[in-house]
């Protein structure tokens, strides 16, 4: 049980254990009537089975023992385990199970912040009178998810989102863990730097070269040395290693650097096609600047000003950080459609905020392969424009309405 401070901030981070494999197993048993649980096979969720295309999106525990890694090509995984079975993902079903999970969360939590298709933060502050001790309630919630939805989760509990997420990554599956500030030194500092949120592979390699191998080493390092090697990202990981969640604090403009662009149109836009055309230009500019600086956006927003000078804004926290033009364009158009009431438009703006370093990206089942292709396209276009000028090449999607 946690200490009886009923006014303490309490956050749950809930993460489905091996979500894509678990949901595929349920799909095959519940929808197709199969009797064998694929979680007990040497199995992966990947691309086309006959063509062996795509990447590994999930793997069973037995497949993991062969050294198969999430994100590697399916054909490479097949070579490591000749008897490996690859199942194609059924995205519609995964989305259905995700919606059921989020619906369950909303029954209990005053605020639910979905972080990805298989994880969410729940603000449980002030719910002691409703559910009693938060840790005891977390066990009840974990068991309810297992018994009613058919899959297991880990629940991390703390006084901020960062530490709750770190706690949920402790031993799995079907576990509840706490990581309050007073537990950081014992539970978090001995962990390798790779386990710290926002420490990607290249950052970890650079830390190792500096003789920094554990999260505690980061927390006790000289901040000026970290900043000299990693710039603003050094300060971020220093704070994270000390349990300070910057996402819950107001930061200066320099620390919370955003990338935005807007344009005042010389005529009233009354058609969504014209607005899409303008937003592609804005996304090209915003994403090009992010790529040049080596950062990706966590939040994307759209601003509209109508002919009566009424300003409206709409934003979205992304499931995966991005600097890809086509991804930002698609989301901007979705935000526009949700925001626009049909009034004539005089100004359109697109902004990318809460930027992070490029080597950190949340794995997202629904965009993994397309993201890599679009990333390569952006790199090619940037290279041509750097050499021949900004107008040297134009995207075909510039003239097309995005798919709904």
Active site residues: 119
Phi, psi of 241 (to 5 degrees): -65, -25
CA angle, residues 89, 120, 98, in degrees to nearest 5: 35
Q: Give the residues across from 154 on adjacent strands.
A: 15
Give the separation between CA 3 and CA 380, rounded to whole angstroms: 55
- Helix (H) / strand (E) element for 353: namely strand 345-353
Tell how far CA 81 is from the center of its chain: 30
Q: Decide: 138 and 158 in contact? Cβ < 8 Å.
A: no
Contacts of 269 (CB under 8 A, 6+ apart): 275, 278, 344, 345, 346, 348
Q: Decide: 401 and 276 in contact? Cβ < 8 Å.
A: yes
Phi, psi of 96 (to 5 degrees): -60, -45
Contacts of 189 (CB under 8 A, 6+ apart): 214, 215, 216, 219, 241
Helices marked H in 150-298: 161-168, 184-187, 201-209, 215-219, 223-230, 232-241, 272-293
Residues constituting the chain: 404
Nearest by Cα to 188 from 215, 169, 213: 215
Nearest by Cα to 123 from 133, 115, 112: 112
Contacts of 17 (CB under 8 A, 6+ apart): 151, 152, 153, 154, 172, 173, 174
- If you ran DSSP here, which 8-state letter would residue 196 be given? S
Tell how far CA 260 is from the center of its chain: 21
């Amino acid at each position: 049980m946690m200490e009886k401070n009923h006014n303490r901030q309490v956050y749950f981070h809930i993460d489905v254990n091996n979500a894509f494999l678990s949901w595929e197993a349920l799909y095959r048993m519940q929808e197709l009537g199969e009797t064998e649980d694929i979680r007990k096979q040497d199995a992966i969720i990947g691309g086309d089975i006959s063509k062996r295309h795509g990447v590994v999106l999930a793997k069973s525990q037995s497949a993991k023992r062969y050294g198969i890694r999430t994100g590697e090509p399916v054909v490479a995984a097949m070579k490591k385990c000749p008897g490996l079975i690859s199942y194609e993902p059924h995205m519609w079903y995964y989305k259905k199970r995700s919606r059921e999970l989020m619906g369950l969360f909303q029954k209990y939590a005053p605020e639910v912040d979905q972080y990805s298709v298989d994880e969410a933060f729940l603000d449980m502050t002030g719910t002691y009178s409703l559910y009693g001790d938060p840790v005891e309630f977390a066990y009840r919630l974990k068991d309810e998810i297992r018994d009613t939805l058919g899959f297991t989760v880990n629940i991390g509990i703390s006084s901020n989102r960062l530490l709750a997420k770190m706690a949920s990554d402790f031993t799995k599956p079907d576990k509840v863990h706490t990581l309050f500030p007073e537990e950081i030194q014992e539970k978090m500092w001995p962990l390798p730097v790779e386990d710290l949120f926002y420490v990607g592979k290249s950052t970890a390699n650079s830390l190792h070269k500096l003789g920094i191998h554990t999260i505690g080493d980061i927390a006790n390092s000289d901040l000026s040395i970290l900043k000299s090697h990693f710039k603003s990202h050094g300060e971020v990981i220093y704070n994270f290693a000390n349990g300070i969640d910057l996402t819950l604090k107001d930061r200066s403009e320099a620390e919370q650097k955003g990338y935005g662009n807007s344009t005042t149109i010389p005529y009233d836009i009354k058609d969504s096609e014209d607005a899409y055309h303008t937003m592609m230009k804005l996304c090209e500019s915003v994403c090009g600047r992010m790529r040049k600086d080596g950062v990706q956006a966590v939040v994307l927003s759209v601003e509209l000003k109508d002919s009566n000078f009424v300003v409206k804004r709409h934003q979205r926290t992304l499931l995966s950080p991005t600097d890809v033009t086509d991804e930002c364009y698609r989301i901007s158009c979705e935000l526009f459609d949700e925001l626009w009431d049909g009034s004539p438009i005089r100004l359109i703006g697109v902004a990318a905020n809460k930027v992070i370093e490029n080597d950190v990206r949340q794995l997202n089942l629904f965009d993994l392969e397309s993201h890599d292709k679009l990333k390569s396209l952006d790199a090619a276009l940037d290279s041509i424009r750097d050499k021949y000028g900004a107008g040297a090449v134009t995207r075909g999607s510039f003239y097309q309405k995005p798919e709904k």
